[in-house]
Amino acid sequence: MLIKTKNAWDISENNVTSEKDYFSRRDFIKAAGLIGAGTAASLSMPGSALSQEKLKTLANEFDGRDIQDEQTDARAILNYNNFYEFGMDKDDPAKNSHTLITEPWTVTVDGHCENRGTFSVEDLIDFNNLQERIYRMRCVEAWSMVIPWVGVSLSEIIKKLKPTSNAKYVYFETLVDKKQMPGQNKGIIKWPYREGLRMDEAMNPLTIMAVGLYGETLSNQNGAPLRLVVPWKYGFKGVKSIVKISFVEKEPNSSWMRLAPHEYGFYANVNPKVPHPRWSQASERRIGDFRRRDTLMYNGYGEMVAHLYDGMDLRRNF
């Protein structure tokens, strides 16, 4: 069901998905698999050291369609998860997340932007312009996967919300609902699950808001109905089942930073040279593989993102 909200960016009645046409977002997401490369047009990167033209070309290259790595088996992507709102074990989210109700779903937007308010998923995501992005995902626990996501560039959503010049960071929260998310009855972390990005990281063409994977609607255990994907950062930055987006001036305090600030930093860029106190980050186990493989700086996406960290001490800003 579509929730009617007032959008300052004026979606005309004709463009709004009607209840009849809505058919649970599924067919749009299936069709997106066919769109793929070349659709990442009109990408915007304020403050980037790279030219817009160069970034557009790179964004198309980096949609991952030419990735050499084999895509991880869908069964692993759907059954080996971290989503502590549904339990601590890797198979808990698949077993327990059926209690999450993802339709209807609203996202509250506040902070330093012109278009504050409460929006439906359809208001935020252009389901006619979904792209497939095949990305490596590297968890800080030193395992990795290759996932064919379906979604839109986060920059497309941010442009609709019109952040002001005071917005230096964007902050996200997951739903809090102990009935739907039984794991929240345990104080593993201080709920809600929180994450954030610097504005230029959020606007980078690689950063997407995913609504599907393998051409299907996102499953609950993977963060339905919408979750962040930032492929050059450790997987924990990919906050799931988002209900709040805030544009803020100060660096947000993420869930993991609150829990263990000496172990988890704000940036969380994949970096084989900066070990985690409990895991070397030099290598990883690709799910489905027997041998470990070397971990790549920025998870292999340095060409697109290294410039964001020019002059920064990556050991201190881990």
Residue among 40 and 139 whose Cβ is closer to ligand MTE: 139
Tokens of 127: 């389901």
Asked if 135 touches ligand MTE (CB under 6 A), the answer is: no
C-alpha–C-alpha distance, residues 84 and 175, integer Å: 12
Please identify which residue in 17, 29, 32, 85 interacts with ligand MTE, judged by CB under 6 A: 85
* CA–CA distance, 27 with 80 (Å, rounded to integer): 26
User: Using CB under 6 A, which of 28, 62, 84, 135 touches ligand MTE?
Assistant: 84
What is residue 227's three-state secondary structure?
strand
Where would I find the H helices in 220-289? 255-259
139 touching ligand MTE, by CB under 6 A: yes
Q: Which of residues 182-201 bind ligand MTE (CB under 6 A)?
A: 193
240 near ligand MTE (CB under 6 A) = yes
| Least separation in angstroms between CB 206 and ligand MTE | 17
Complex with ligand MTE: residue 174 or 204, whichever CB lies closer: 174
Q: 222 or 271: whose CB is closer to ligand MTE?
A: 222
* Residue 252 in the binding site for ligand MTE (CB under 6 A): no
Binding flag, residue 144, ligand MTE (CB under 6 A)? no
**Angle made by CA atoms 137, 303, 61, in degrees to the nearest 5:** 75
Question: Based on CB atoms, which residue is closest to ligand MTE, 17 or 222?
Answer: 222
Site membership for ligand MTE, residue 236 (CB under 6 A): yes
The rounded distance, in Å, linking the Cα atoms of 56 and 39 is 10
- CA–CA separation, 308 and 302 (whole Å): 10
The phi and psi torsions of 18 (rounded to 5 degrees) equal -80, 165
- Retrieve residue 109's tokens: 């937007």
Q: Which of 111, 212, 235, 300 binds ligand MTE (CB under 6 A)?
A: 235
Buried b (16+ CB within 10 A) or exposed e, 170-191: bbbbbbebeebbbbbeeeebeb
Is residue 79 within 8 Å of 233, Cβ to Cβ?
Answer: no
Angle at 53 between CA 51 and CA 56, to 5 degrees: 110
Q: Is 149 in the site for ligand MTE (CB under 6 A)?
A: no
How many residues at the interface with ligand MTE, by CB under 6 A? 16
The reply on whether position 174 binds ligand MTE by CB under 6 A is yes
Tell me if 83 contacts ligand MTE by CB under 6 A. Answer: yes
- Least separation in angstroms between residue 169's CB and ligand MTE is 18
Pick left, alpha or beta for residue 106 (phi over 0 → left; psi -120 to 50 → alpha; otherwise beta): beta
| Residue placing its CB nearer to ligand MTE in the complex, 146 or 239 | 239
Q: Which stretch binds ligand MTE (CB under 6 A): 12-20, 37-45, 80-88, 197-205?
A: 80-88
CB-nearer residue toward ligand MTE: 177 or 200 = 177
- Applying CB under 6 A, the residues found at the interface with ligand MTE are 81-85, 139, 174, 193, 222-223, 235-236, 238-241
